A and B are shown apart, each in its own frame.
Chain A
Amino acid sequence: MSCRFLKTSIIGATAICLSVGFAHGSKADAASCPSPIPLGLTTALTGNTALLGTQARNGVEFAVDEINAAGGIGGNKLALTTEDTGASSTDALNAMNRILEGKPVVVFGSMISPHVFAQTEVVTKSETPFLVGATNAKVTAQGSKWLFRTHVHDGQLADLIPEYLVKSLGKTRPGIMAVADDYGLGASRGIQASLAKLKAPPVAVTSYAPSDKDMSAQLLEIKDKDADSLILFGRPADVTLVLKQMNDLGIKLTTIGNASIVAQTTLNNLSAAEADGGYAIGGMIPQTLSDPKILDWSKRVQEKYKVPADNFTVSYYDTVYMLKSIIEKVGCDKSAIRDALAATRDWKGMLISYQADAQGDLAHTLGIYRNKGKTPELAGPIKESGY
């Protein structure tokens, strides 16, 4: 028993020495990257957030496959390791620990904010750039200089949606319906604060559980309290039900909300009458553009993953290419990559440009959409104030 103990400790010690040596090696030679270049991704592939989580995997994987098919970065292929976070934040933390064991050059987190909150400390300690799409405004306020967000967030939506509703659409008595998870409730709070500043407080603030099917109570409350508009923040599955039932009840309100209102998975289950007229402000989606290259990309993504691409797919895809251009410039040293990310200026992605601010947010352009029947139309890009 003691012989084995000794052997194991020797192996353990040797492993430690080797890995320390390795780390030194890559630090000294900034321009040469390990081959293959290890990347890590954690996202929800199972569980109740999987519908959203898989879009992160789709975007990253699609880009990695494209880059590898074209020869990789400087001749080095990318090796992407994906771990499923499942539904709970504890599992997300475990998944991230697993990924970090493989010593990736960069880690991608998902758009599910509680998971990213759980993972931030351990990623920061490992001094690895952490690229996320998590939309809770406070994600970039955690004070980690390694965390960067490449998708628009609820803080921006909380400002822009009320502003557009009040100033451009001229509605001053909105009712709010938000899905009762981190995504919806966080946004709802921010929206209420912005409405207060615009002197247009909501006449009703309601929420619904993610598994709720009957939305009539909330819709009727909003109608009874004499709202002139509805701010709707949810996931495609439940937003579909709200719009459907609103139509069934004969309630006609100007509706504005997040990208779920114009998402393909929502529109697939609505009739033209039910979808028509809804506004959305959010991360830009590929389906509304006439550029044939973008539409082709969109089609190929759908063929491969059987699910339409959405704003997150685009954002994660862009992030990988952004990373590629950074690695081509500064190599695979993690600190150098981090510094380059923080210095991003006007990097042109598929639909928007990216620019890093002091907090680590890189996306500042959103799209305003309106449903014409079952087809979303881009009313125009809208930028966060100051950009």
Chain B
Amino acid sequence: MSGRRVAVTGLGVVAPLGDSVEELCANLLAGRSGIRRLDIPLAEALRSPIGASAGFRGDAHFPAPRLRMLDRVSQMALVAAAQAVADANLNFGTENRDRCGVSVGSGMGGAETTDEGYHIIYAERSDRVKPYTVLASMTNAAASWIGIDYGMTGPNLTYSTACSSGAVAVGEAARRIQSGDVDVMLAGGAEAPLTFGVLRAWEAMRTVASPDPQDPSASCRPFARNRTGLVLGEGAAFVALEEWNHAMARGARIHAELTGYGLTTDTAHITRPTAAGQAAAMRAALNSAGLDPGAVDYVNAHGTATLQNDAVETAAIKEVFGARAYALPVSSTKSMHGHLLGAAGALEFVIAIASMERGIVPPTMHLDLRDPDCDLDYVPERARTGVNLKAVMSNSFAFGGTNAVLIAEAFGARR
């Protein structure tokens, strides 16, 4: 990207595999899956009652009166954002808060509140819809609450581009820092889709994985011949983004530099990805970073485990990286944390950065049966350690066609 440089100075996650980056990384390294049989009302009526739930409990973080105003999606967003702020050691009391903003991606916003409201209206035939229903369910609630908590009076934006929302939120936030509009952005994604209504709707699309009869935790099998679809997950992930000199001046620890962001749109059909569109997004990200494809050391794939995505994404990666594609580690951590929809891009960007910092490549789990159409190095079954990663790419594609690709480089990779 041209213009001012963007430092990633804080990371925060509330995810199926951990409520901290440290815990998440340890679980990814061990190849543990957070996917399980769901214990939610009416789960028995689902064909595929599995998901990657976070262990997160809102009442451990918020008093009862506050909880009433917050859908689960905002609760998780607030906690993940607070982690990123603490990790970055940012003090908004001393910042020019007009130059600080919030950028959040969410596909479905306060889905639990919406689901509950419909239940009250249509199932209970009651008119007792909760007075906070609109404020808790609106898609921008999470971003708004974060802005309120820290008094950030710069831009407060919510992006909803389905499964690429989180990546778009991070990329657009970086653009605002580069353009000079702001110096600090809290950017990320949040999603809490594990309610009966949402799960049933996804089932109806026939894109959801069948539960593995022996081991439900192995139900999401990206790139495998026996993959049957995606598994929904919930959580939130945030990064604190800062203009480079701003970060240096206050002596912040820099996790990575956000150098690349590419955005393209597939227009073939609302659900159909194209290799050309995905490849163009990866190229756009490389161009904005000023990197050759050969400089990328790891790709965190979109890798949803749907039949279509994984084959198309594989073809797109080959198109961009050529012969080197076969030597490039590409993994889908969704095999472990599921598909967090609007939070996925942010979570996976955090994972890519945390992996680079730790010199690890997280695996694609449950990949024992290879698909001839998916013939790259997906880091099957076992994480790699002691790997020197200087640049990592995170792919996010979406229903609706918005392809977003982020690139981060290790601190010190360029001076």
Chains A and B form a bound pair: no
Where the two chains meet, the residues of B that have a C-beta atom closer than 8 Å to any C-beta of A are: none
